[in-house]
Homo-oligomer: A and B are copies of this chain.
Amino acid sequence: MAAPSREACETMERSIRDRVPPLLTDLYQFTMAYAYWRAARHNEPAVFELFFRDNPFDGGFSLFSGLHDCLLFVRTFRLTHEDVEYLRSVLPPATDPAFFTFLRGLDCSGVTIRSVPEGTVVFARVPLIEVAGPLAVVQLLETSLLCLVNYASLVCTNAARFRLAAGPRRKLLEMGLRRAQGPDGGLTASRYTHIGGFDLTSNVQAGFLFGIPVAGTMAHSFVTSFSSLEEVWPQTLVAAKGGSDPVDLISLTKGWLGRVCKLLGAEHGKIREGELAAFLAYAIAYPHNFLPVIDSYSVSCSGLLNFCAVALALFELGYCPLGVRLDSGDLCRQSVDVRNAFKLCGEQFSISDFPSLTIVGTNNISEQTMIELNKKENEIDVVGVGTHLVTCTRQPSLGCVYKLVEVRGSPRMKFSEDTEKSTVPGRKSVYRLLDTEGHPFLDLLCLAEEPVPKAGVTMSCFPLGRDDTRQSVTPAQVTCLRKDVFIKGQITHPLCSAAETREKVQSSLQNLNPRHKRLQEPDSYTVAVSENLHNLIMAIRGGSCNNSINFLLAN
């Protein structure tokens, strides 16, 4: 798929504006903005970093997503008159009215964003996005950027894990909208699970907005809404090649049903007439796209037989049905039974396409089920995943944070008794070090002014979370992980379509060493700081007390 058209971009931008208005943020962003403004610090140059502290799902990697939405958000960030009036009503009455005039004029024309490209494999503690600009503005963006990255990256990572579990061949369908956390939970899930490796979505709006291929046929309610063959209308179908008179599809199918029952040794008595009626009505509406759900009553006693009969009638008229959907019970066992029936029909009635019809399986699939699926004999071609995919049941939040690292050129650091929660100060460059096989093995955070690490040259660094232990590394290749994506209010690179980012995900995963890519008990990837950055951290930690003494004694 090509880059999205101008029109598609405008629709997406409108969608982001509708879904992420500037007031969709925490109140404290505005209370802080006022305090900065009141202290005349609102325009001081500041730098924030966005990162997460742990890979989700006990995994060895994550996929960075949500940048596209962040960029559309910052480009259009502007408070309306109504927004500002609402803020006036909730901030204390003593708030200086000039502050509201200031808010009304705010935009992101002074903001610069450097980011890891969307769809890249990333690791915990690496600053993914750097947002630089006037202190009050970059502070105000916090909640919105976190909200846009957190879930997008989480669900994209989840999808990529499902894809790894499923293997490259099986088609994956996302169908979680009804179980999503709010309407946009569904829309965001559809976009980012596609990017993470799903092929199709059931979500029509996601198809409309993002160009993702949509899929879907029928629910059980369609089947149970029919009770007799009298409800089938029209009852005829013209052969695929045309020309001849319309054929009575009911009679034709009834003939096939008798033969199918005989072939498969099935009892007539358990076949549901309503189900056959539903399949016929559907086949007449969609002779080229016949794929019914066959477990509304009983797969083996009714659904499979009805399907084979209608499918054989369609084949006779020159159409090729698509296949069946299984939505309950033991999907593996049933898929094998269904495939065997398809093969028998194909052989018996000499229809070469019958054995390879598609079998779709959809029944509360989790990553674990998907892994188990691969260990068992099964004939499932397409897997539909809903709840476990979109709500990320195993870990429903990623925990991204947005931390201040520099103000007026001077590094800032948050301490914490829990050292994991301390931040890494200063504006940085982030390099990815590759080994001789081309696999990334270490992400290195350096001070922005440091020279780029050289391939083939050994250097010292300090892995984060390993108690200041020095490590020597010699990269075979070095890449700069982030690039400028938004400069002074302008998006500097064309936005990628969902399909393009989806390719980026697969190629980024391709490069990842299998030991980090393992779904269970992966080796942890090293993220380290340079010697200079390590020295800065030590200096800030150690030097802090002296400053404090000074200010108290200086009075």
Contacts and interface: CB of A to CB of B under 8 A. Distances in A.
A404 B221 contact: yes
Contact of A151 (B20, B185, B233, B234): B185
Contact of A182 (B35, B188, B231, B251): B188
A146 B386 CA distance: 13
A544 B302 CA distance: 12
A202 interface: yes
A397 B396 CA distance: 10
Given A28-B216, A48-B221, A397-B391, A281 B39 contact: yes
Contacts of A399: 179, 387
A552 interface: yes
A178 B147 contact: yes
A126 to B, nearest CB: 19
Interface string A193-228: 000000000111101100000111111111011011
Contacts of A525: none
Given A26-B177, A27-B202, A270-B548, 13 more contacts: A26-B178, A26-B216, A28-B216, A35-B286, A39-B285, A143-B178, A147-B178, A147-B183, A180-B181, A181-B185, A182-B189, A224-B413, A258-B552
Interface in A512-555: 544-545, 547-553, 555
Given A46-B225, A218-B28, A208 B548 contact: no
A225 B41 CA distance: 10
Q: How many copies does the complex hold?
A: 2
B182 A24 contact: no
Interface footprint category on A: 35 or more
A296 B415 contact: yes
A1 to B, nearest CB: 14
A21 B205 CA distance: 8
Interface in A108-148: 135, 139, 142-144, 146-148
Contacts of A147: 177-178, 180, 182-183, 186
Given A202-B27, A225-B46, A417-B298, A38 B284 contact: yes
A183 B215 CA distance: 25
